[in-house]
Copies of this chain bind each other. A is one copy, B any other.
Amino acid sequence: MAQDSIAQNVPDARDNRTTGMCAKEPMQADGIVRLSKVEVYPEYLEEYRRYAVEVGEISLRTEAGVLTMYAVQEIDNPCRITILETYASQEAYKSHIASAHFQKYKQGTLHMVKALVLSDQKPLNEANRITNFITPAGRDSRREPDAR
């Protein structure tokens, strides 16, 4: 009974919502928890969004050291985006920023970004954990930016 109750609460490996997610590394002492605060020029918002969705999906699906990449937009000003990024280690972060998908995002969106603040964080409670994953069922259909 307790098992059933718990099973409803967490992604289940038998559930294809998590298909295609790579295994993840545990958080290391030199891991990074970051709030990246991005302000995008309004005229580029939809294009920026496509790039950000793509890099988030590829990073979560394929990088063992990218533990979270969860982006939200302010309802009152959708041009203000906050991304909760968690990297298992400094090495994982270096590997991420060197990746082709991150470089495509970074170079492709440089002119769209009005302001960027990287604010490193520490969880308030080490026992409070999050798992971040992509659901194929709800996969964003607008996620492929044109190559440029």
Contact residues of A with B, CB < 8 Å?
2-3, 5-14, 17-19, 21-24, 33, 35, 49, 52-53, 56-57, 60, 68-76, 78, 81-82, 84, 119-140, 143
Q: Are A49 and B124 in contact (CB under 8 A)?
A: yes
Q: Are B71 and A123 in contact (CB under 8 A)?
A: yes
Interface residue from B75, B129, B134, B136 paired with A132 (Cβ < 8 Å): B129
Please, which residues of chain B bring their CB within 8 A of the CB of A76? 119-120
Say whether, besides A10-B13, A35-B82, A140 and B121 are in contact (CB < 8 Å). no
Please, which residues of chain B bring their CB within 8 A of the CB of A11? 10-11, 129, 131
Helix, strand, loop or mixed for chain A's interface?
mixed
Q: How near does chain B come to A10, taking the closest CB pair, in angstroms? A: 4
What are 9 sample pairs from A and B whose C-beta atoms fall under 8 A apart?
A5-B22, A7-B13, A10-B133, A11-B131, A35-B82, A53-B128, A57-B128, A70-B123, A72-B121
Q: How near does chain B come to A113, taking the closest CB pair, in angstroms? A: 14
Closest B residue to A134 by beta carbon equals B127
Query: What 7 A-B pairs come out closest when comparing CB atoms?
Result: A72-B121, A71-B124, A8-B23, A127-B138, A7-B13, A10-B11, A53-B125
Please, which residues of chain B bring their CB within 8 A of the CB of A9? 13, 18, 21-24, 131, 133
